[in-house]
Amino acid sequence: MTITEKSKLSTSADQELLTADDLLRLHSKGVRGELVRGVLHETMTCGHEHGTIVVNLVLALANFVKPRRLGSLVASDSGVWLEKDPDTVREPDIAFTSAEKIPPGTRIPGYSEEVPDLVVEVKSPSDSRRYVAGRAEMWLSHGVGLIWVVHPDTRSIDIYRPSCAVSIITGDDTLDGADVLPGFTCTLTNIFET
């Protein structure tokens, strides 16, 4: 990391704000995080259970999305560029963006600037319920149509939709894609299977 990059990571009030390009460059040097209005918020790895849940959901979603060519499905580290000047790049655990926004075969070497249709956030052991609810609200404010917040500790999923009360599914319930991915279903048992 150069002196300039180190100074951009400073936490002083007069810090120089980072750009999405700066974040990509830092990521290539092993710095992992998100940008919120130009300020880097480093992220940490979340553990085995978190990763297993992400893989289970990605597999279920990919088996539904890919054969139907419904759109783009990405997992963590891909980043979504939500705001410019100052830049905000957020990193959902999983994101689905419809083919109308990102046609199949489209190559996006940096961050996507298309707001996903579905975002999945898996609560990390260090996250509070309030923190993950805040992330869901942030996604809603940017136009995401469906957010699933997965709670490994309670084996439940909070479902957020615009202009709707949050619903919670647990136990033997089945998760569905609502009008974002009509026809998609997955049991919670399969999601939390280790």
Q: Which of 111, 31, 28 is nearest to 72 (CA)?
A: 111
Given a cut of 50, whether residue 6 has pLDDT beyond it is no
Q: How confident is the model at residue 5 (pLDDT cuts 50, 70, 90)?
A: very low
Does residue 50 contact residue 192 with C-beta atoms inside 8 Å? no
Does residue 190 contact residue 55 with C-beta atoms inside 8 Å? no
Average pLDDT, the chain: 91
Q: Which residue has the higher pLDDT, 2 or 58?
A: 58
Given a cut of 80, whether residue 106 has pLDDT beyond it is yes
Sheet with strand 88-90: strands edge to edge? 39-42, 33-36, 88-90, 80-83
Given a cut of 90, whether residue 9 has pLDDT beyond it is no
Q: Which of 156, 76, 81 is nearest to 119 (CA)?
A: 76
Query: What are the DSSP calls for 117-186, one per residue?
Result: SEEEEEPPTT--HHHHHHHHHHHHHTT-SEEEEEETTTTEEEEE-TTS--EEEETT-EEEETTTEEEEEE
Residue-wise pLDDT for 58-87, tens only, equals 999 999 999 999 999 999 889 999 999 999
Residue-wise pLDDT for 125-173, tens only, equals 889 999 999 999 999 999 999 999 999 999 999 999 999 999 999 999 9
Please report, as a single letter, which amino acid is at residue 41.
H
Residue-wise pLDDT for 11-63, tens only, equals 445 578 999 999 999 988 989 899 999 999 988 888 899 999 999 999 999 99
Domains of the chain, earliest start first: 3-42 (no CATH), 48-191 (3.90.1570.10)
Over residues 180-193, mean pLDDT: 96
What is each CA distance from 52 to 57, 152, 191, 192, in whole angstroms? Answer: 9, 10, 9, 8
